[in-house]
């Protein structure tokens, strides 16, 4: 059995479960990280039964810096083949109506934890001459979005940070990839406070397929789905006032 591990954050739901399934199907042992232990134990049992891999469930609130320490140590010590920084959440509401606590948690999870975990994993990957840091961004990274101001800015950070890391690691055998899904069928919108927003959604499995296709082609980032790709790239040609007006409409309908 392989000694290497894939670490998947946000592995209790949505995209994280699909990433964990893909890694196990590819033969990697899987560390599942999130807060919901029961959900992760069910996923882990299914991975062991279906794929014969080892699993480790870590219940960690990744917004808590002290609680992240165990995971940081694990990333430094184990042979980690893939770190998939997938845990994240957004909020759909006016900036001044979102609590300060929620805004800080959103940044801590989507930006600070992702950066700290990447920093913990890269040196070991470099010493082994292989590995992949997969950071889940969003198509929200491509424009400012009223009613999702903090989320869109945080995901822009993930895209820029990861693309720069890709540039630093390019010749080392270690890869970095930012994944930009558009609306996808998960718990994301319910957790963001608007379950009914953006009904035309892709599946987690489609996002995972796009991820591993892009990883195989050594891309710095990937936008999942043809329509999402077209929207992300044409956005750059549109003046900011129009971009923002369209983004607000799309985020809230």
Ligand X SMILES: NC(=O)c1ccc[n+]([C@@H]2O[C@H](COP(=O)([O-])OP(=O)(O)OC[C@H]3O[C@@H](n4cnc5c(N)ncnc54)[C@H](OP(=O)(O)O)[C@@H]3O)[C@@H](O)[C@H]2O)c1
By annotation, the residues acting in catalysis are 151
Nearer to ligand X, 52 or 73 (CB): 73
Map the footprint of ligand X across residues 123-152, applying CB under 6 A: 136, 138
CB-wise, 90 or 131, nearer to ligand X? Answer: 90
Does 228 engage in binding with ligand X (CB under 6 A)?
no
Torsion of CA 119, 214, 181, 112, to 10 degrees: 0
Q: Binding to ligand X by residue 14, rule CB under 6 A? A: yes
Interacting residues with ligand X between 45 and 64 (CB under 6 A):
60-63
Q: Strands 80-85 and 131-136, how do they pair?
A: parallel
| Contact (Cβ atoms closer than 8 angstroms) between residue 28 and residue 7 | no
Residue 206 within binding range of ligand X, rule CB under 6 A: no
**Stretch near ligand X under the rule CB under 6 A, chosen from 8-16, 121-129, 160-168, 169-177:** 8-16
| Min dist. Cβ of residue 191 to ligand X (A) | 5
184 sits near ligand X (criterion: CB under 6 A): yes
The correct pick among 115, 163, 191, 252 for binding ligand X (CB under 6 A) is 191
Residue among 108, 53, 92, 110 nearest 192 (CA): 92
Quote the least distance from Cβ 252 to ligand X, whole Å.
14
Among 38, 70, 168, 187, binds ligand X (CB under 6 A): 187
Pick the piece of the chain touching ligand X (CB under 6 A) from 29-37, 76-84, 169-177, 239-247: 29-37
User: Residue 9: beta bridge partners?
Assistant: 33
Among 86, 93, 143, 162, binds ligand X (CB under 6 A): 86
Site string for ligand X, 61-80 (x = CB under 6 A): xxx-----------------
CB of 5 vs ligand X, minimal distance in Å: 18
169 touches 162 (CB < 8 A): no
CB of 127 to ligand X, least distance (A): 28
Closest CB to ligand X among residues 12, 81: 12
**What residue ranges bind ligand X (CB under 6 A)?**
10, 12-16, 34-36, 60-63, 86-90, 109, 136, 138, 181, 183-184, 186-188, 191
């Amino acid at each position: 059995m392989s000694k290497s591990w894939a670490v998947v954050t946000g592995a209790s739901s949505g995209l994280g479960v699909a990433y964990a399934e893909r890694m196990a199907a590819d033969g990697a042992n899987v560390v599942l990280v999130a807060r919901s232990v029961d959900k992760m134990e069910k996923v882990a049992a299914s991975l062991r039964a279906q794929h014969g891999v080892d699993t480790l469930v870590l219940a960690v609130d990744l917004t808590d810096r002290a609680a992240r320490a165990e995971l940081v140590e694990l990333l430094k010590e184990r042979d980690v083949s893939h770190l998939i920084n997938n845990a994240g959440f957004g909020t759909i509401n006016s900036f001044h109506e979102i609590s300060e606590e929620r805004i800080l948690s959103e940044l801590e999870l989507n930006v600070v934890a992702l950066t700290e975990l990447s920093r913990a994993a890269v040196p070991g990957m470099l010493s082994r001459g292989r590995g992949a840091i997969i950071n889940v961004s969003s198509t929200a990274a491509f424009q400012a979005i009223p009613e999702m101001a903090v989320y869109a800015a945080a995901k822009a950070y993930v895209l820029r940070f990861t693309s720069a890391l890709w540039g630093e690691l390019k010749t080392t055998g270690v890869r970095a990839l930012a994944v930009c899904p558009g609306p996808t069928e998960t718990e994301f919108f319910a957790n963001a406070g608007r379950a009914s927003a953006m009904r035309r959604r892709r599946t987690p499995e489609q996002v995972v397929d796009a991820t591993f296709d892009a990883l195989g082609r050594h891309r710095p980032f990937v936008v999942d789905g043809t329509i999402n790709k077209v929207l992300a790239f044409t956005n750059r040609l549109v003046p900011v006032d129009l971009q923002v007006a369209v983004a607000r409409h799309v985020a809230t309908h």
